[in-house]
Amino acid sequence: MSQPLLLNIKETVAILGGQISQRSVWRWSSTGKFPRPVKLGGRTLWRWSDIQKFINDADGNFAKFNRLRRGQDA
């Protein structure tokens, strides 16, 4: 099964491991610590490629992930 190009908030949270609240994703996005969503037909969606890059930049390291979401250099 192929990955969708755009993800809603629930799908985005699930990809991030499900331990992060939707509110955190919204807050991170609004402060530039997480990829900004796109608006499409009244919906707010995240690009899979942006989420994948964010995750890859963390390189599977939870501490590095936390630094990225805080907007600190990895």
Q: What is the DSSP string of 8-74?
A: -HHHHHHHTTS-S-HHHHHHHHHTTSSPPPEEETTEEEEEHHHHHHHHHHHTT-HHHHHHHHTT---
Residue pair 38/46 in contact (Cβ under 8 Å)? The answer is: yes
Asked if residue 73 is part of any domain, the answer here is: no
Asked if residue 72 is part of any domain, the answer here is: no
Note the pLDDT of residue 16: 86
Q: At what angle do helices 62-69 and 48-58 cross, to 10 degrees?
A: 120
Query: CA 10, CA 32: separation in Å to the nearest integer?
Result: 19
What are 5-40's pLDDT values in tens digits? 999 999 999 988 878 899 999 999 998 889 999 999
Asked if residue 14 is part of any domain, the answer here is: yes
Q: Please state the domain count of the chain.
A: 1
Asked if residue 40 is part of any domain, the answer here is: yes
Confidence of residue 50 (pLDDT cuts 50, 70, 90): very high
